[in-house]
């Protein structure tokens, strides 16, 4: 390899496990099959790790912000994964990705302030 880390310092197996368990539980609460929750969680974590990998290759520091790259893969991949199963429209997917970006930009600094996140973005 090139000596750079593959992923950012904040990526952990524990975080992936909690995400998968959380999305399986959320699917159950929403009356959806657990497999949908597992797929959504798995694809969200895949998107998050993919963006982290790309950021390391582009030379961003761990925790450094890359607008769009930080939000789009993590929200788009799960939506594409359940597109057919949930009969999602392309416009609905684009709107959801946009809303995810807005919420991420608004709530990340708040979560950072309460020491829930390690970085403000």
119 assigned to some structural domain: no
pLDDT recorded at residue 64: 85
Domain count, the chain: 1
pLDDT recorded at residue 74: 96
- Take residue 3 and report the two structure tokens written for it: 């000596």
pLDDT recorded at residue 118: 82
pLDDT recorded at residue 101: 97
pLDDT recorded at residue 43: 98
Backbone angles phi and psi of 104, in degrees to 5: -60, -45
Mean pLDDT split into 10-residue runs, the chain, 121 residues: 73 91 98 98 96 91 88 97 97 98 95 87 78
Q: Is 54 helix (H, G, I), strand (E, B) or coil?
A: helix
56 assigned to some structural domain: yes
Q: Which residues form the domain of 48?
A: 13-113
pLDDT recorded at residue 1: 59
5 assigned to some structural domain: no
Q: Which of 4, 106, 105, 116 is nearest to 55 (CA)?
A: 4
24 assigned to some structural domain: yes
pTM above 0.75, yes or no: yes
120 assigned to some structural domain: no
């Amino acid at each position: 390899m090139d000596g750079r880390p593959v992923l950012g310092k904040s990526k952990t197996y524990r975080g992936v496990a909690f995400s998968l368990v959380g999305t399986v539980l959320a699917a159950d609460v929403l009356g959806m099959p657990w497999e949908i929750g597992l797929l959504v969680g798995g694809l969200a974590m895949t998107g998050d790790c993919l963006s982290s990998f790309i950021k390391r290759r582009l030379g961003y520091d761990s925790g450094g912000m890359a607008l769009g790259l930080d939000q789009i893969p993590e929200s788009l991949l799960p939506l594409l994964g359940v597109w057919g199963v949930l009969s999602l429209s392309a416009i609905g997917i684009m709107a959801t990705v946009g809303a995810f970006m807005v919420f991420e930009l608004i709530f990340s600094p708040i979560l950072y302030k309460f020491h829930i996140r390690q970085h403000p973005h």
